[in-house]
Amino acid sequence: MVMADLKTHVRTAANALFNWWKAVTIEALCVALMWWIGLMLLHVPLALVWALIGGLMTFVPHYGGVITVIFPVMAVLFSGHDVYRLGLVLGLYALIVVVDQLVLQPVLLKRTNRVPLWASIFVPIVLGIIIPFWGVLLGPPLLAVIYAFKKPRTPQLRT
């Protein structure tokens, strides 16, 4: 009896983590596409390479975006473009971060793991304050597992 319960719990947690991984993968593809379109419009050298790095860095929550923007900024600086184009790249970064963190990630976590929008925004921030690096890194998958174990509410019939 205990082994059956343990097996069910492990299966529930594994499903939650797999669904979280699917959400992050879709998020990474969307972020890479946003970077590629933006960098192509700004005529940044090696735009596709920087966009692919941006997509991969999505798997590193909150810090990946900062790592991503370094490469296009350096490409603009070393290619001899003006400061205006550098400002546009930084503006593109800000736009992508806002869309990713406040729209894409919460919506995808809600659709794949039933995590409420408010939780997917605030819990990583709070955990990041309490446990600086690990809280931010483990916040989204931890939320996915926690909400996988919450029982869905069943509507009550009135008589």
Give the model confidence (pLDDT) of 102-136 as tens digits.
Answer: 899 889 988 888 888 888 888 888 888 898 878 87
Q: pLDDT tens, 29-59?
A: 999 999 999 999 999 989 999 999 999 998 8
For residue 156, tell me if it sits in a domain: no
CA dist list (Å): 52 to 38, 69, 132, 148: 13, 12, 27, 31
Closest CA to 112 of 41, 23, 48: 23
Across 13-17, average pLDDT: 89
Sign of CA dihedral 102, 108, 111, 115: negative
Answer yes or no: is 154 within a domain: no
Q: Domain range holding 15?
A: 2-149
The answer to whether residue 157 sits within a structural domain is no
Q: Is residue 155 part of a domain?
A: no
159 pLDDT more than 60: no
Are 54 and 70 in contact by the 8 Å Cβ rule? The answer is no
Query: Count of alpha carbons within 13 Å of 131, Cβ hemisphere only?
Result: 9
Q: How many residues are present in the chain?
A: 159
Lowest mean pLDDT among 32-41, 58-67, 73-82, 141-150: 58-67
Q: Which of 63, 39, 35, 56 lies closest to 124, judged by CA? A: 63
Residue 58 to residue 122: CA distance in whole angstroms: 18
For residue 110, being part of any structural domain is answered with yes
CB 75 within 8 A of CB 45: yes
Tokens of 68: 């991503």
Distance CA 95, CA 98 (A): 5
Tokens of 135: 């809280």
How many structural domains is the chain composed of? 1
Structural domain includes residue 21: yes
What pTM was computed for the model?
A: 0.81
Average pLDDT over residues 149-153: 70
